[in-house]
Amino acid sequence: MKKVGKYEVGRTIGKGTFAKVKFAINTETSECVALKVLAKDTILRNKMVEQIKQEVSIMKMIRHPNVVRLHEVLASQTKIYIFLEFVSGGELFDKIVHQGRLNEEKSRKYFQQLIDAIEYCHSKGISHRDLKPENLLLDAHGNLKISDFGLSALPHQVREDGLLHTTCGTPNYVAPEVLNNKGYDGAVADIWSCGIQHASFSCPTWFSPSAKSLIMKILDPNTQTRITLAGIRSHPWFKKNYIPVRVNDAEETPDLDDVDSVFDNAQENFVNEEDVKDTGPSMMNAFELISLSQGLNLSALFDRRQDHVKRQTRFTSNKPAKEIISKMEATARSMGFQVETRKYKMRLESRGAGRIDHHLAVAIEVFEMAPSLYMIEVRKAMGDTLKYHKFYKTFCGKLKDITCKMTLGIEKGKHERARSKVQPAL
């Protein structure tokens, strides 16, 4: 356990090439937040200072209900801490994997919220440039939130020809003009990515004629005839059951001074850090448990149905923590993984035939929920999501002798007893 200023820092909930994302709690307000932790030496070594400054500045400028909110940025001598809105519903990508295709009404709601947020960003001169289901999060109420502005562009990046020239984004979702090295309009390219596919396509039979019409207009390779945001808003499919979002334009202009100060080495700018002694598996407190439950339906926490696997999955065990770790180590090695264990955390890594797309890394952590009851969180750290799904099914199948199934949240009495066993948050 660690404290950073007024925040208690908990488990790791995500990991990228240059940053970890951790769960944290504001001890003054009891608000759950997501903490993005970056090492200063890594940022400097990879010449990412200006990129990080720009990402933080952009997120400070955007105050929209359908964009992940940035709360504040702090720094220590070695780390940069970015505190963000905690969005508990996961990625839209995972929802699609979990449920299969979404019905048209649900898809329309997400699309309307996406267009609202993108239009707001464009009004500030900001192009996202990496729109895809993995960067669209869902909150506990099912509302969409755009995240990850690491590749976003501001007006000053436009060249004399009025266009952007940096090739970036994810190939499956990027507009064709971004790849032709002739320059592109970032806002127009964002519209293409809202269609979430490529130009050579056919619509499934269950698409309504109105939905097909709009998709055809969005996925138009010709930037001159591609539909505009105004055109999307006036389209009959978009307008159905549309509820305009309310944006608070009365908020003060954001202060961007701390964006530079986090890279200064002035001692007075450093946040206070405090390590709390770690003697066993981390205790998952009530706030963390509830935040994971997507409302108060705790059954979602412990659903081990193997045909519905997300990139972050969990199971429980009443075996001793050391036995759990030992069994998982042996199982992972038998599956060909390299295993690194540190206390009650594990990292598994598998490399296939030298190809980067065959690499898979998995992070595992054991949490104590109550005496003799542990939750094991398994998370994809790197690699293909579908490959991770296959791994998880096999991995859990080999761990049947140490796992148990929970039914928390099904009956009120059981739910209350379960909560009473969990350590208080503060």
Domain range annotation of the chain: 2-86, 92-239, 282-420
Q: Which helix (H) or strand (E) holds 70?
A: strand 70-75
- Token code pair at residue 82: 């970015």
Q: Residue 118: helix, strand or coil by DSSP?
A: helix
Active site residue 130: yes
79 labeled part of a ligand binding site: no
| pLDDT at residue 367 greater than cutoff 60 | yes
Amino acid at position 152, single letter: S
In CATH terms, 2-86 corresponds, of 3.40.50.300, 3.30.420.40, 3.30.200.20, 3.30.1280.10, to: 3.30.200.20
Q: Are 169 and 178 in contact (CB under 8 A)?
A: yes
Q: What is the pLDDT of residue 96?
A: 84
The pair phi, psi for residue 286, each rounded to 5°, is -60, -40
Strands 282-283 and 338-342, by their bridges, are unpaired
| pLDDT at residue 333 greater than cutoff 70 | yes
- Between CA 22 and CA 33 the distance in angstroms is 9
Q: What is the pLDDT of residue 148?
A: 87
Tens of pLDDT, residues 235-266: 999 999 999 888 876 566 666 766 777 777 76
Q: What is the CATH number of domain 282-420?
A: 3.30.310.80
Q: What is the pLDDT of residue 269?
A: 73
Tens of pLDDT, residues 280-322: 676 665 555 555 554 433 333 333 333 344 556 788 898 999 9
Strands (E), 173-310: 273-275, 282-283
In CATH terms, 92-239 corresponds, of 3.40.50.10540, 2.60.40.10, 3.30.1440.10, 1.10.510.10, to: 1.10.510.10
CA 388 to centroid of chain Cα atoms: 17
Q: Which helix (H) or strand (E) holds 191?
A: helix 186-194
Which is the catalytic residue, given 130, 148, 185, 190? Answer: 130
- Token code pair at residue 362: 């998995």
